[in-house]
Amino acid sequence: MILNQLKDSILEGEAEITYDLTHKALSMGYPAQVILEKGLIAGMNEIADKFRERNVIIPEVLMATRSMHAGLSLLEPHLISSSPNKPGKVIVGTVAGDLHDIGKTLVKTMVMSLRIKVIDLGVDVTPKKFADAVRKEKPEILMISALLTTTMGVMKSIIKEVRQQSPSVKIFVGGAPVTEEFASEIAADYYFENAFEIRDYLKENYDKLFLRKD
Protein backbone atom coordinates (compact mmCIF):
# COMPACT_ATOMS: atom_id res chain seq x y z
CA MET A 1 0.00 0.00 0.00
CA ILE A 2 1.38 3.35 -1.01
CA LEU A 3 0.77 4.97 2.39
CA ASN A 4 2.89 2.30 4.06
CA GLN A 5 5.60 2.87 1.46
CA LEU A 6 5.40 6.57 2.21
CA LYS A 7 5.74 5.93 5.93
CA ASP A 8 8.76 3.70 5.28
CA SER A 9 10.40 6.40 3.16
CA ILE A 10 10.15 8.76 6.14
CA LEU A 11 11.72 6.15 8.43
CA GLU A 12 14.55 5.64 5.96
CA GLY A 13 15.08 9.37 5.42
CA GLU A 14 14.68 9.12 1.64
CA ALA A 15 13.46 12.60 0.70
CA GLU A 16 13.30 12.02 -3.07
CA ILE A 17 11.31 8.83 -2.62
CA THR A 18 8.97 10.59 -0.18
CA TYR A 19 8.40 13.36 -2.72
CA ASP A 20 7.68 10.89 -5.54
CA LEU A 21 5.35 8.76 -3.42
CA THR A 22 3.46 11.82 -2.19
CA HIS A 23 2.98 12.97 -5.78
CA LYS A 24 1.81 9.48 -6.76
CA ALA A 25 -0.64 9.26 -3.84
CA LEU A 26 -2.17 12.61 -4.79
CA SER A 27 -2.50 11.52 -8.42
CA MET A 28 -4.24 8.33 -7.23
CA GLY A 29 -6.86 10.43 -5.50
CA TYR A 30 -5.84 10.06 -1.87
CA PRO A 31 -6.96 13.11 0.17
CA ALA A 32 -4.08 15.29 1.33
CA GLN A 33 -5.11 14.94 4.99
CA VAL A 34 -5.03 11.13 4.70
CA ILE A 35 -1.58 11.22 3.09
CA LEU A 36 -0.38 13.53 5.85
CA GLU A 37 -1.79 11.48 8.72
CA LYS A 38 -1.33 7.91 7.41
CA GLY A 39 1.95 8.51 5.59
CA LEU A 40 4.05 11.45 6.77
CA ILE A 41 2.81 11.76 10.35
CA ALA A 42 2.71 7.97 10.81
CA GLY A 43 6.37 7.85 9.82
CA MET A 44 7.31 10.72 12.11
CA ASN A 45 5.37 9.16 14.99
CA GLU A 46 7.40 5.99 14.60
CA ILE A 47 10.61 8.02 14.49
CA ALA A 48 9.49 9.81 17.66
CA ASP A 49 8.92 6.50 19.44
CA LYS A 50 12.33 5.23 18.35
CA PHE A 51 13.95 8.48 19.48
CA ARG A 52 12.33 8.27 22.92
CA GLU A 53 13.60 4.70 23.20
CA ARG A 54 17.04 5.86 21.99
CA ASN A 55 16.92 3.55 19.00
CA VAL A 56 17.70 6.35 16.54
CA ILE A 57 20.06 9.31 16.77
CA ILE A 58 19.51 12.98 15.96
CA PRO A 59 20.94 12.82 12.39
CA GLU A 60 18.38 10.12 11.57
CA VAL A 61 15.60 12.29 12.97
CA LEU A 62 16.81 15.19 10.80
CA MET A 63 16.85 12.97 7.70
CA ALA A 64 13.30 11.85 8.45
CA THR A 65 12.25 15.47 8.94
CA ARG A 66 13.76 16.48 5.59
CA SER A 67 11.81 13.65 3.96
CA MET A 68 8.63 14.82 5.63
CA HIS A 69 9.37 18.37 4.44
CA ALA A 70 9.66 17.09 0.87
CA GLY A 71 6.23 15.48 1.03
CA LEU A 72 4.68 18.41 2.84
CA SER A 73 5.78 20.80 0.09
CA LEU A 74 3.34 18.99 -2.21
CA LEU A 75 0.59 18.54 0.36
CA GLU A 76 0.44 22.02 1.84
CA PRO A 77 -1.55 23.72 -0.97
CA HIS A 78 -4.11 20.91 -0.81
CA LEU A 79 -4.29 21.02 2.99
CA ILE A 80 -4.93 24.75 2.96
CA SER A 81 -7.69 24.50 0.37
CA SER A 82 -9.41 21.25 1.37
CA SER A 83 -9.16 20.76 5.13
CA PRO A 84 -11.45 22.88 7.29
CA ASN A 85 -9.53 24.26 10.24
CA LYS A 86 -10.68 24.09 13.81
CA PRO A 87 -11.05 27.39 15.67
CA GLY A 88 -7.68 28.78 16.68
CA LYS A 89 -4.54 30.12 15.10
CA VAL A 90 -0.80 29.64 15.65
CA ILE A 91 2.12 31.71 14.35
CA VAL A 92 5.54 30.07 13.99
CA GLY A 93 8.93 31.52 13.10
CA THR A 94 12.68 31.25 13.59
CA VAL A 95 14.47 34.20 15.21
CA ALA A 96 16.52 36.88 13.45
CA GLY A 97 20.01 35.73 12.51
CA ASP A 98 18.99 32.06 12.36
CA LEU A 99 18.33 30.40 8.99
CA HIS A 100 17.45 26.92 10.27
CA ASP A 101 13.94 25.72 9.49
CA ILE A 102 13.93 21.94 9.99
CA GLY A 103 12.64 22.09 13.56
CA LYS A 104 10.16 24.85 12.79
CA THR A 105 8.82 22.92 9.83
CA LEU A 106 8.33 19.82 11.93
CA VAL A 107 6.44 21.85 14.55
CA LYS A 108 4.32 23.40 11.81
CA THR A 109 3.46 19.96 10.45
CA MET A 110 2.53 18.63 13.87
CA VAL A 111 0.20 21.59 14.47
CA MET A 112 -1.32 21.31 10.99
CA SER A 113 -2.00 17.62 11.61
CA LEU A 114 -4.43 18.75 14.33
CA ARG A 115 -6.19 20.96 11.74
CA ILE A 116 -5.17 24.15 13.49
CA LYS A 117 -4.38 27.08 11.21
CA VAL A 118 -0.66 27.89 11.08
CA ILE A 119 0.95 31.08 9.82
CA ASP A 120 4.64 30.51 9.07
CA LEU A 121 6.78 33.66 9.20
CA GLY A 122 9.82 31.73 7.98
CA VAL A 123 13.38 32.17 9.22
CA ASP A 124 15.48 35.19 10.24
CA VAL A 125 12.40 36.93 11.68
CA THR A 126 12.95 40.19 13.57
CA PRO A 127 11.20 41.05 16.85
CA LYS A 128 9.21 43.74 15.05
CA LYS A 129 7.99 41.31 12.40
CA PHE A 130 6.88 38.86 15.09
CA ALA A 131 5.08 41.62 17.01
CA ASP A 132 3.42 43.03 13.88
CA ALA A 133 2.21 39.58 12.82
CA VAL A 134 0.75 38.83 16.24
CA ARG A 135 -1.02 42.18 16.34
CA LYS A 136 -2.46 41.68 12.86
CA GLU A 137 -3.40 37.98 13.02
CA LYS A 138 -4.38 37.77 16.72
CA PRO A 139 -3.27 34.14 17.25
CA GLU A 140 -3.80 32.30 20.49
CA ILE A 141 -0.23 31.01 20.37
CA LEU A 142 3.13 32.27 19.10
CA MET A 143 5.85 29.63 18.65
CA ILE A 144 9.45 30.86 18.47
CA SER A 145 12.38 28.69 17.41
CA ALA A 146 16.15 29.16 17.69
CA LEU A 147 18.73 26.58 16.68
CA LEU A 148 21.90 28.47 17.64
CA THR A 149 23.27 29.61 20.98
CA THR A 150 24.22 32.87 19.26
CA THR A 151 20.61 33.60 18.29
CA MET A 152 18.57 32.25 21.18
CA GLY A 153 19.03 35.52 23.07
CA VAL A 154 16.87 37.25 20.45
CA MET A 155 13.89 35.42 21.95
CA LYS A 156 13.94 37.78 24.94
CA SER A 157 13.61 40.83 22.67
CA ILE A 158 10.81 39.17 20.71
CA ILE A 159 8.83 38.34 23.83
CA LYS A 160 9.27 41.85 25.22
CA GLU A 161 8.06 43.50 22.01
CA VAL A 162 5.17 41.08 21.51
CA ARG A 163 3.97 41.48 25.11
CA GLN A 164 3.85 45.27 24.78
CA GLN A 165 1.28 45.00 22.00
CA SER A 166 -0.38 41.62 22.59
CA PRO A 167 -0.16 40.64 26.27
CA SER A 168 -2.68 37.80 26.04
CA VAL A 169 -0.92 35.65 23.42
CA LYS A 170 0.68 32.47 24.76
CA ILE A 171 4.34 32.13 23.78
CA PHE A 172 5.99 28.75 23.19
CA VAL A 173 9.77 28.51 22.74
CA GLY A 174 12.04 25.69 21.66
CA GLY A 175 15.12 24.68 19.72
CA ALA A 176 18.33 22.77 20.33
CA PRO A 177 20.05 25.25 22.70
CA VAL A 178 16.89 26.32 24.55
CA THR A 179 16.22 24.98 28.04
CA GLU A 180 13.35 25.19 30.47
CA GLU A 181 15.45 27.45 32.70
CA PHE A 182 16.16 29.82 29.82
CA ALA A 183 12.48 29.87 28.86
CA SER A 184 11.62 30.89 32.41
CA GLU A 185 14.27 33.63 32.41
CA ILE A 186 12.85 35.26 29.27
CA ALA A 187 9.24 34.95 30.50
CA ALA A 188 8.04 32.48 27.89
CA ASP A 189 4.81 30.70 28.79
CA TYR A 190 5.85 27.22 27.68
CA TYR A 191 9.01 25.34 26.74
CA PHE A 192 8.97 22.11 24.75
CA GLU A 193 11.88 19.85 23.98
CA ASN A 194 10.52 18.66 20.63
CA ALA A 195 7.64 18.95 18.18
CA PHE A 196 5.99 15.75 19.36
CA GLU A 197 5.60 17.17 22.86
CA ILE A 198 3.97 20.27 21.36
CA ARG A 199 1.51 18.20 19.35
CA ASP A 200 0.56 16.10 22.35
CA TYR A 201 0.11 19.16 24.55
CA LEU A 202 -2.06 20.97 22.01
CA LYS A 203 -4.17 17.87 21.49
CA GLU A 204 -4.72 17.37 25.22
CA ASN A 205 -5.33 21.05 26.00
CA TYR A 206 -7.08 22.26 22.85
CA ASP A 207 -10.22 23.55 24.57
CA LYS A 208 -8.27 25.50 27.18
CA LEU A 209 -5.92 27.06 24.64
CA PHE A 210 -8.23 27.84 21.74
CA LEU A 211 -11.87 27.86 22.81
CA ARG A 212 -11.49 30.90 25.00
CA LYS A 213 -14.13 33.57 25.46
CA ASP A 214 -13.01 37.07 24.50
Per-position DSSP letters for 100-123, written without gaps between them: --HHHHHHHHHHHTTTEEEEE--S
Write down the pLDDT at residue 100.
83
Query: Do 74 and 176 belong to one domain?
Result: no
CA separation for the pair 211, 90 (Å, rounded) = 13
Domain finish residue from 82, 111, 134: 82
Query: E strands within the chain?
Result: 86-94, 116-120, 141-145, 170-174, 190-191
Query: Do 108 and 148 belong to one domain?
Result: yes
Domain count, the chain: 2
Domain interval for residue 49: 2-82
CATH number of the domain to which 8 belongs: 1.10.1240.10
Query: Do 123 and 76 belong to one domain?
Result: no
Q: What is the mean pLDDT of the chain?
A: 90
Query: Which 3 state secondary structure label does DSSP give 5?
Result: helix
For the stretch 180-191, pLDDT in tens is 999 999 999 999
CA separation for the pair 124, 107 (Å, rounded) = 17
Query: Do 24 and 70 belong to one domain?
Result: yes
Query: Do 69 and 91 belong to one domain?
Result: no
Query: Do 65 and 113 belong to one domain?
Result: no
Query: Do 132 and 51 belong to one domain?
Result: no
For the stretch 56-88, pLDDT in tens is 887 888 888 889 889 988 988 887 666 567 889
Write down the pLDDT at residue 84.
61
Write down the pLDDT at residue 44.
84
Query: Do 107 and 65 belong to one domain?
Result: no
Domain finish residue from 30, 48, 82: 82
Query: Do 100 and 169 belong to one domain?
Result: yes
Query: Do 137 and 203 belong to one domain?
Result: yes
Q: With a cut of 50, which residues of the chain have pLDDT below it?
A: 214
Q: Which residues contact 146 (CB under 8 A, 6 or more apart)?
A: 94, 95, 98, 152, 154, 155, 173, 175, 177, 178
Angle at the Cα of 192 (from 189 to 197), degrees rounded to 5? 125
Query: Do 114 and 173 belong to one domain?
Result: yes
Write down the pLDDT at residue 108.
87
CATH number of the domain to which 196 belongs: 3.40.50.280
Query: Do 137 and 119 belong to one domain?
Result: yes
Interstrand relation of 116-120 and 86-94 (parallel, antiparallel or unpaired): parallel
| CB 156, CB 186: distance < 8 Å | yes
Domain finish residue from 18, 48, 82: 82
Query: Which 3 state secondary structure label does DSSP give 95?
Result: strand
